[in-house]
């Protein structure tokens, strides 16, 4: 397995290695602005299958296809609906995935058997160069073992995939820390399938109309977006997500910790909560007023709990407005969609 630093991405040798590996059906791990991705040639069914094996991912969980340039869009999608244009103009490149009707270039292995596919153009320059070097569209789900917290640091992906992929690029810590927003634009009214940094409010303001929010819809059939059907983002320990007034949440955590071994308890919370909680293992997400900072630290914090072998993890629920919707979407899944109201 080859490992390169992000600063080496423009070296001819690195570009050549990426091209050779992807062309031969291999796997590459690279940073994006959202989380790290594990990528393969999106037009090669056998290469795509390797991603599912490496991640332990269910085969009906669709993958997102990444492009380096918008001019390549019509090679992978049949048409571009009118309401997609203002979103593409404003948010591409960036953390927004749009779901279109796919062409036959994209095999069923990518789309989970659906006739649609999610497309994104990442803004991360390393990710863009990986795609250009590969010379083909790249399908790239988050680079983590399926069901576990996504990877926001290179150490995470190296731990999960060392020896399971052909090439890795170390890009340090990602800038956003949550997977992309997913919006289905194949319907007359666009449908939000997964919240992210591009919020529902931002989309509606851009379009000038309301959209349908399906982010909490229970899916039993094939999901139209990653993150809709299966358990996600869960650390090994039990996560208690607690909703209520700040004082009541703090009291609940303190009271519940009394019956636990202090070495088995961890608290993940915004800064304002932690000053009043005496706990050996605390992870500060940042001030609650800065949800961008909180978002970058969520998966890092969940991963840290696993590193410390924490059995009981307490996390205060956050406001669901704006970026808070995406943060709570991930925390709810980490907690098995259970919320404790106090």
> What average pLDDT does this structure show over 271-278?
93
Cα distance between the two ends of the chain: 49
Percentage of the chain modeled with pLDDT above 90: 89
pLDDT of residue 61: 82
Reported confidence tier of residue 148, pLDDT bands at 50, 70, 90: confident
176-229: pLDDT as tens digits: 999 999 999 999 999 999 999 999 999 999 999 999 999 877 655 555 665 554
What is this structure's pTM? 0.92
Domain 2-213 belongs to what architecture?
A: Alpha-Beta Complex (3.90)
Chain centroid to Cα 252, Å, comes to 30
3-state secondary structure of 263: helix
> What average pLDDT does this structure show over 321-333?
94
- Is the distance from CB of 22 to CB of 166 less than 8 angstroms? no
Q: Where are the domains of the chain?
A: 2-213, 238-341
With a CB cutoff of 8 Å and minimum separation 6, the contacts of 116 are 99, 100, 101, 102, 184, 186, 224
Task: Count Cβ neighbours within 10 Å for each residue of 28-54 and write b for 16 or more, e otherwise.
Answer: bbbbbbbbbbbbbbbbbeebbebbbeb
4-39: pLDDT as tens digits: 999 999 999 999 999 999 999 999 999 999 999 999
How high does pLDDT run on average in the chain?
Answer: 94
Q: Is 148 exposed, middle or buried (0-12, 13-18, 19+ CB in 10 A)?
A: buried
Q: Which residue has the tokens 């993958």?
A: 63
pLDDT of residue 233: 76
Q: How many CA atoms lie within 13 A of 258 on its CB side?
A: 6
Higher pLDDT, 29 or 275: 29
Class of domain 238-341: alpha beta
55-80: pLDDT as tens digits: 988 777 899 999 999 999 999 999 99
pLDDT at 272 over 80: yes
Structure tokens at 189: 């009214």
pLDDT of residue 259: 93
- Is the distance from CB of 231 to CB of 147 less than 8 angstroms? yes
Task: Count Cβ neighbours within 10 Å for each residue of 200-210 and write b for 16 or more, e otherwise.
Answer: bebbeeebeee
H or E segment to which residue 315 belongs: strand 312-316
Fold match between domain 2-213 and domain 238-341: no
Structure tokens at 90: 């404003």
pLDDT at 303 over 60: yes
pLDDT of residue 228: 54
Structure tokens at 113: 């058997």
Q: Which residue has the tokens 């048409």?
A: 79
């Amino acid at each position: 397995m080859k490992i390169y630093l992000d600063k080496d991405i423009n070296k001819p040798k690195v570009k050549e290695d990426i091209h050779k590996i992807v062309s031969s059906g291999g796997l590459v791990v690279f940073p994006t602005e959202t989380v790290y991705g594990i990528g393969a040639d999106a037009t090669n069914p056998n290469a795509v299958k390797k991603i599912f094996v490496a991640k332990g991912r269910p085969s009906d969980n669709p993958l997102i296809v990444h492009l380096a340039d918008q001019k390549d869009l019509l090679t992978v999608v049949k048409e571009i609906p009118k309401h997609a244009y203002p979103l593409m103009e404003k948010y591409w490149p960036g953390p927004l995935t749009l779901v279109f009707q796919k062409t036959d270039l994209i095999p069923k292995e990518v789309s989970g058997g659906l006739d649609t596919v999610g497309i994104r153009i990442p803004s991360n320059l390393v990710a863009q160069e990986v795609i250009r070097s590969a010379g083909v569209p790249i399908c790239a789900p988050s680079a983590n073992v399926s069901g576990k917290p996504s990877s926001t640091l290179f150490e995470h992906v190296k731990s999960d995939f060392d020896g399971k992929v052909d090439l890795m690029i170390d890009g340090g810590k990602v800038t956003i820390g949550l997977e992309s927003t997913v919006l289905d634009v194949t319907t007359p009214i666009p449908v939000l399938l997964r919240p992210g940094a591009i919020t529902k409010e931002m989309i509606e303001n851009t379009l000038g109309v309301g959209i349908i929010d399906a982010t909490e819809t229970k899916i039993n059939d094939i999901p139209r977006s990653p993150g809709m059907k299966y358990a996600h983002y869960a650390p090994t320990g039990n996560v208690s997500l607690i909703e209520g007034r700040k004082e009541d949440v703090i009291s609940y955590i303190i009271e519940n910790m009394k019956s636990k071994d202090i070495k088995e308890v961890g608290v993940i919370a915004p800064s304002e909560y932690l000053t009043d909680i005496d706990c050996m293992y605390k992870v500060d997400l940042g001030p609650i007023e800065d949800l961008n900072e909180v978002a970058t630290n969520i998966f890092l914090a969940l991963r840290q709990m696993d590193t410390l072998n924490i059995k009981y993890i307490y996390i205060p629920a956050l406001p669901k407005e704006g970026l808070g919707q995406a943060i709570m979407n991930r925390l709810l899944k980490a907690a098995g969609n259970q919320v404790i109201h106090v």
